[in-house]
Structure 1
């Protein structure tokens, strides 16, 4: 999530930096992206890491650091810099923490993938999932997992169960 919910993640420069940061992180700490949605102020994803490697943190650190280095000159807010941010060498692009959940089984995986793909509708960014371009939904349609007219099966209870930071 961005710091103070700033809406810049879908900007072309940030998207390019995210792609490059992901590729950089994958070189030293491999992972595959099973599902992803990028929203203006936050993102959701499901990653598969190698066996016996659960270090999401190092991967996020590499990605966030890369995006910050590439985009900080345009996006940093000096008026938001606090002593704790200076001490930790942080910028004003990212929230300090992230939420993680270990997928328990196939049903849990499907529920989270649906939640991820439905998120742009949930946040009122589009009326149908197909209309949001920054999502692995399109890959799932291409692979026959969803129909192009899939609208989401997430009830409010499911959204609460999945959780969001």
Structure 2
């Protein structure tokens, strides 16, 4: 729980320096997924991720490799530009179903480190979405 708070601080720090909006997110014990909206004409995800990783790494202790790098983060990230509304919905579902997929929750609404409840509150999802394995969930493959 403390690391989630530290990660949120890192995101806020970077958002102040390099603005972007987090449309959706889920934080899991060993990885996270996000949908971001960058300012128009700005496509620099890499710098933001590097800044987030650095800001978070400074806040936590972790083992260190021979080259002095902390072993908190994987060396790269995977970026995907959303093509249309269908693609957006597919990735949104993937993000929110991820805790269930990894056996961390029985339903997306049970996982506390997710934007799922915000989307339920906005009427995008029913609160029961993802509680059963529906056909639209079984085909989620965005990794």
Same-fold call, TM > 0.5? yes
1:5 corresponds to = none
Unpaired stretches in structure 2, ≥5 consecutive residues: none
1:131 corresponds to = 110
| 2:133 is the alignment partner of 1:154 | no
Unpaired stretches in structure 1, ≥5 consecutive residues: 1-11
SS at the partner of 1:95? coil
More helix by share: 1
| 2:17 is the alignment partner of 1:23 | no
Counterpart Cα distance in 2 of 1:44 and 1:158: 14
| 2:40 is the alignment partner of 1:61 | no
| 2:122 is the alignment partner of 1:143 | yes
| 2:72 is the alignment partner of 1:93 | yes
4+ residue runs of structure 1 moved beyond 3 angstroms? Answer: none
Counterpart Cα distance in 2 of 1:19 and 1:129: 20
> Contact 1:13–1:71 at 8 Å: present in 2 too?
no
| 2:89 is the alignment partner of 1:106 | no
Q: CA deviation at 1:17?
A: 1.3
Counterpart Cα distance in 2 of 1:55 and 1:100: 11
Q: CA deviation at 1:103?
A: 0.3
> Contact 2:93–2:140 at 8 Å: present in 1 too?
no
Query: TM-score, normalising length from structure 2?
Result: 0.92
Q: Does the C-alpha gap of structure 1 residues 13 and 158 become closer, same or farther in structure 2, counting only changes over 3 Å?
A: closer
